[in-house]
Amino acid sequence: MLDDTDSRLLDALQKDAHLTAQELGERLNLSASQAGRRRQRLEEQGYILGYAARLDPTRVGLHVQSFVQVQMASHAPEAARAFAQLIAARREVISAWTLTGEADYLLRVYCEDLPALNRLIHQVLLPHPAVARVQSQIVMDQLKPDAPLPT
């Protein structure tokens, strides 16, 4: 169970994972060693899964963001495994969810341009034997950037 200090520590690290134990301690009114031990405990208990840099997609040449809904023709376990392996191998697919409702999967995709998105849909996803239908929505603007989880 997280206490208020743990929640504040997690919130601070989500905003800036570079914070030192000293800086965390100052923000949380703890000593650096107490803050460091709390961080280590939260890592060991699996609350903190890792640390990563967030990149600017356009600066690295990814100008098209899209959400792609996939409806499956087959829900057999082997078809689902094969589809999961396909999307896991595609760098353009940065996250994927299984859904309730009409679509079976929702993929978040970043591509260099519209022709690259078209190739992904028409040469990779639609030809897959388990896929019945693909529908994409191209992101025009992101009103709220990916935010930290509420703690």
- Please report whether residue 143 resides in a domain: no
DSSP code of 140? S
Strand 105-111: give its sheet, edge to edge. 93-98, 105-111, 64-72, 131-138
Average pLDDT of the chain? 96
- Domain limits at 65? 58-138
Angle between helices 4-15 and 21-28 (to 10 degrees): 130
Residue 151 pLDDT: 85
Q: Give yes or no: residues 70 and 119 share one domain.
A: yes
Number of residues assigned to the chain: 151
* 140 half-sphere exposure, CB direction, 13 A CA radius: 0
CA gap 33, 43 in Å, rounded: 15
Whether the per-residue pLDDT at 28 is higher than 90: the answer is yes
Q: How confident is the model at residue 1 (pLDDT cuts 50, 70, 90)?
A: confident
> pTM of the prediction?
0.87
- For residues 109 and 92, the answer to whether their CB atoms sit within 8 Å is yes
Number of structural domains in the chain? 2
- Please report whether residue 151 resides in a domain: no
Q: How confident is the model at residue 48 (pLDDT cuts 50, 70, 90)?
A: very high
CA gap 78, 92 in Å, rounded: 23
